[in-house]
């Protein structure tokens, strides 16, 4: 079955109120260049698409971070921040970060990134576009193409190095690289790069006799290590980046979970990814994102091919809006400067059906809950209240929450029943029940309240 044009819509705007809580203005995501420099090496360097959101340090002290913290920007002007970029980069790079939230200025004091913690003689400093930031990472808004730098630095360090040079060179022929103070453009002598030292004009000449892709960084005492510069060195007459880079980039694709309700409350979900061309690679230049509809929980159709959602994009994440009851798989292809391609596919992502699609008997009331799936749930008000949904798939899950004084429900799928206790802690959008493996075809799930104590349902998730 073809994915209908009205379905699988790609939303390139922010999620507005769903991301910003009580904030009424809508913040737009921004693709920034994030770099994290540790004491002895680079922890992360690459593009990250980020937006205003609640960040998640390891301590679990999750807080809203949208540029309005501590009065950094007016309440109606939220947006992505250096700390949200750090948080999103941590997810892409598979590392963690931590910080202490100071309620006095409503921001985090970042004290660990990856395995490196600040000490008595250094701290995690923040630079934006190479300038040392005089406000916290949640107190300023960043925009597209901003360069966000977190660095473990000493208290006397205030300069961030910027390295420039050619993208390609020829074996046996010298080429020039330049090191400057990124904040003011002043050339810096005494910086080491590729085994050479810059002069007073900030320049150094390098020559390589062997073909290869050389990853260069500049270092200087009392300064933050520079951005990386990849130079493709090829024999005379060869096209740039073709003589040694023969492998495609690696790609990792991340989803919010197996069910869209695990981290969100609407059919718009975040798909993000990271491409890595390796130490000897020429560098990723863009991505192509595709989607395949694996199944439709109502029609039961499947599609084996992929449909392009976006291509030649430098972004590393997108918001995708799927259909209720459908399951999707995503594929990301990364392209490097040598035109090599590498691709990876995600796992399956199922979009639950909202409770409004359930066939309800008398004895239910609708409850408005802002953080519920679809922002509403249904709650039983009498014994014997019944909810029913027909679907197609090989498995089905019930989404909802347990209640402190919740009751029990009988869940029946194709005549086979199980009694489920729904008393407990009320975490929204929890999986309350998952069926056994079902044969292909159409099925019916029925939920029946077994007593006066209430039960609450938020959605149903058919799965292939």
Say yes or no: 327 and 388 in one domain: no
pLDDT number for residue 305 = 86
Are 15 and 129 part of one and the same domain?
Answer: yes
Identify the DSSP state of 264.
-
Within a domain: 164: yes
pLDDT along the chain (464 residues), means of 10: 34 33 56 96 94 94 95 90 97 94 95 96 97 96 96 94 97 98 98 98 98 96 96 94 93 94 93 91 95 88 82 92 96 96 96 96 96 96 97 95 96 96 93 95 96 96 95
8 A C-beta contact, residue 205 and residue 140: no
Indicate which CATH number applies to the domain containing 345.
Answer: 2.60.40.10
Residue 65: predicted pLDDT: 96
The token pair that represents 205 in the structure block: 């000449």
Note whether 137 and 173 are same-domain residues: no
- Structural domain includes residue 244: no
Q: Are residues 295 and 400 in the same domain?
A: no
Say yes or no: 12 and 116 in one domain.
Answer: yes
Q: Are residues 148 and 169 in the same domain?
A: no
In a domain, 242, yes or no: no
- The tokens for 436 are 């056994």
Residue 243 forms part of a structural domain: no
DSSP state of 16: T
Whole-angstrom distance, CA of residue 131 vs CA of residue 423: 54
**What pLDDT does residue 19 have?**
35
User: Do residues 170 and 237 make contact, with C-beta atoms less than 8 angstroms apart?
Assistant: no
Do 259 and 194 share a domain, yes or no?
no
What is the pLDDT, as a whole number, of residue 29? 84
Q: Go through 377-386 and write b for each residue having 16 or more CB atoms within 10 A of its CB, e for each that does not.
A: bbbbeeeebb
Q: What is the pLDDT of residue 301?
A: 65
Report the C-alpha gap between 256 and 271 in whole angstroms.
Answer: 7
Total number of domains constituting the chain: 4
Domain of residue 10, CATH code: 2.170.130.30
Do 304 and 343 lie in a common domain? Answer: yes
Q: Are residues 196 and 303 in the same domain?
A: no
Q: What is the CA radius of gyration of the chain?
A: 26
Q: Are residues 179 and 145 in the same domain?
A: no
Instruction: Evaluate whether residue 241 is within a structural domain.
Output: no
Per the structure, the complete domain to which residue 29 belongs is given by: 1-155
- Alpha carbons 389 and 338: distance in angstroms, whole number: 52
Last residue of a domain, one of 108, 131, 155: 155
Compute the distance between CA of residue 95 and CA of residue 89 in angstroms, rounded to an integer.
8
Looking at the fold, whether 287 and 399 belong to one and the same domain comes out as: no
168, 104, 99: which is closest to 337 by C-alpha? 168
Residue 212 lies in a domain: yes
Nearest to 295 by CA among 389, 391, 373: 391
Whether residue 70 lies inside any domain: the answer is yes
Residue in 221, 272, 262, 287 with CA at minimum distance from that of residue 371:
262
Domain end, chosen from 155, 188, 203, is at 155
Instruction: Kindly report the backbone phi and psi dihedral angles of residue 274, in degrees, each rounded to the nearest multiple of 5, phi listed first.
Output: -140, 130
DSSP annotation string for 57-120: -TT---EEESS-GGGSS-TT-----HHHHHHHHHHHHT--EEEEEETTTTEEEEEEETTEE--S
Which residues are CB-contacts of 38 (< 8 A; sequence separation ≥ 6)? 113, 114, 116, 152
The pLDDT of residue 27 is 60
Q: Are residues 123 and 67 in the same domain?
A: yes
80: in domain: yes
pLDDT at 337: 93
Domain boundary among 291, 319, 351: 351
């Amino acid at each position: 079955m073809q994915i209908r044009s009205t379905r699988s819509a790609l939303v390139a705007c922010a999620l507005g109120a769903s991301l910003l809580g009580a904030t009424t203005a809508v913040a737009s995501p921004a693709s920034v260049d994030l770099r994290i420099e540790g004491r002895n090496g680079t922890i992360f360097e690459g593009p990250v698409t980020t937006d205003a959101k609640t960040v998640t340090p390891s301590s679990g002290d999750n807080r809203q971070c949208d540029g309005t913290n501590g009065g950094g920007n007016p309440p109606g002007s939220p947006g992505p921040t250096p700390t949200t970029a750090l948080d999103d980069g941590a997810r892409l790079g598979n590392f963690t970060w931590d910080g202490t939230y100071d309620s006095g200025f409503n921001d985090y004091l970042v004290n660990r990134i990856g395995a490196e913690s600040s000490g008595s003689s250094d701290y995690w400093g923040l630079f934006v576009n190479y300038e040392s930031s005089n406000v916290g990472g949640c107190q300023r808004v960043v925009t597209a193409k901003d360069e966000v730098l977190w660095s473990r630095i000493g208290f006397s360090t205030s300069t961030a190095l910027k390295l420039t040079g050619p993208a390609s060179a020829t074996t046996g022929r010298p080429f020039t690289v330049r090191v400057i103070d990124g904040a003011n453009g002043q050339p810096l002598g005494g910086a080491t790069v590729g085994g050479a030292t810059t002069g007073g004009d900030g320049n150094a000449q390098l020559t390589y006799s062997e073909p290869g892709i050389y990853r260069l960084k500049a270092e200087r005492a009392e300064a933050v290590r520079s951005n990386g510069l990849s130079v493709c060195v090829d024999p005379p007459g060869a096209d740039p980046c073709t003589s040694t880079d023969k492998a495609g980039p690696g790609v990792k694709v991340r989803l919010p979970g197996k069910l869209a309700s695990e981290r969100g409350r609407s059919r718009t979900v975040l798909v993000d990814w990271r491409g890595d061309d390796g130490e000897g690679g020429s560098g990723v230049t863009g991505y192509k994102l595709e989607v395949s509809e694996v199944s439709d929980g109502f029609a039961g159709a499947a599609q084996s091919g992929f449909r392009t959602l976006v291509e030649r994009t430098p972004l590393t994440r997108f918001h995708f809006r799927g259909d209720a009851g459908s399951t999707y798989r995503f594929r990301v292809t990364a392209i490097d400067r040598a035109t090599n391609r590498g691709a990876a596919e995600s796992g399956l992502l199922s979009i639950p059906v909202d409770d409004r699609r359930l066939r309800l008997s008398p004895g239910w009331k609708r409850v408005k809950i802002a953080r519920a799936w679809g922002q509403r749930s249904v709650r039983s008000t009498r014994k014997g209240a019944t909810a029913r949904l027909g679907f197609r798939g090989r498995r089905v899950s019930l989404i909802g929450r347990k209640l402190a004084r919740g009751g029990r429900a009988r869940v029946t799928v194709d005549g086979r029943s199980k009694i489920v206790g729904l008393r407990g802690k009320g975490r929204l959008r929890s999986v309350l029940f998952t069926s056994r493996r079902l044969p292909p075809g159409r099925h019916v799930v029925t939920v029946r309240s077994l007593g006066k104590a209430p039960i609450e349902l938020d959605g149903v998730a058919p799965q292939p």
